[in-house]
Amino acid sequence: MTENQTWIPEFILQGFLLSPRMEMLLCGLFSLLYTFTLLGNGVILGLIWLDCRLHTPMYFFLSHLAIVDISYATNNVPKMLANFLAKKKSISFAPCIMQTFLYMAFAHTECLILVMMSYDRYAAICQPLQYSVIMGWKVCTIMAISSWACGSLLALVHVVLILRLPFCGHHEINHFFCEILSVLKLVCADTTLNQIVIFAASVFILVGPLCFVLVSYTRILIAILKIQSGEGRRKAFSTCSSHLCVVGLFFGSAIVMYMAPKSQHPETQQKVLSLFYSLFNPMLNPLIYSLRNTEVKGAVKRVFWKQRSR
């Protein structure tokens, strides 16, 4: 094995293994979806910045979610689009490892941001009298910084464990970016420790937070049913249903990818789920929050009329 170990200066990203015509078609489609992702999340950030009524803890965390989604998509999609048009679909070793790190960091951070958003909704609906104390701006800032820091540290652990391993001569990654499970398949050593850490991190960052979210929303549902005002009940359902849709999309696909038993075509499954993570989920999040949230729709109208009145 020692004789076969070589330094790999670059990897080849195999992508989707389609015909050139189909790749061109997908390149155009994914370029359009990527543009919608940037515009949608950019509009959410702009609305939160311009409308003072959205300067609340919920929208503070939503702005962080939009930043994560933009970063998530930008980390993976541009390289995928470039490879659709390139004959040699290569990526150097250092950028590949950096892409793996950023992918894991943004994924972990998004999990924790979604947990913070569920806690915010729990405090707002179940503890309304203490809400301003529980979710003060100092507390929100600490929670956001902790989410980013924890997500980055967990990603760093994964990358350090990868860098200690030797890579063999085989350097083709059966994926459209440097996804951690696909990179580990190129290692010519025992990856049991890496697999254990990935599973443990999945339990910590997926199962634990998901249980917390489900418990929070169970208590929120009980509290909503006790609200006497029909308008208040509709408003609470509107904001909470938006968040639950995002939670279901993100956590569901993540658990299937990293914790569910592998299918007969694991590479294809990973590519589809990673594409959902990288492109569809970041694009759908602003749509969900804008279409199902009366406050966001109201902010759009206020900002629009404010600009027209100038």
Maximal C-alpha separation, the chain: 74
Place 3 in a pLDDT band, splitting at 50, 70 and 90. very low
The predicted pLDDT at position 4 comes to 43
Domains of the chain: 10-304 (1.20.1070.10)
In the prediction, which pLDDT does 103 show?
Answer: 92
| Alpha-carbon span 133 to 154, nearest angstrom | 30
Asked if residue 54 has pLDDT above 70, the reply is yes
Residue 279 DSSP class: I
pLDDT-derived band of residue 266, with 50, 70 and 90 as boundaries? low
Q: Which is it for the CA torsion 194, 196, 197, 203, positive or negative?
A: positive
Q: 2 falls in which pLDDT band (50, 70, 90)?
A: very low
- Average pLDDT estimate for 109-124: 92
- The whole-angstrom separation of Cα 97 and Cα 145 is 24
Q: Contacts by 209-212 with C-beta closer than 8 Å and gap 24+? A: 209/111, 209/112, 209/114, 209/115, 209/251, 210/247, 210/251, 210/255, 212/115, 212/118, 212/119
* Residue 5, φ and ψ in degrees, nearest 5: -75, 125
Helix ranges (DSSP H) in the chain: 20-50, 57-85, 93-126, 131-134, 137-163, 180-184, 192-202, 208-225, 230-258, 266-275, 281-291, 294-308
Average pLDDT, the chain: 84
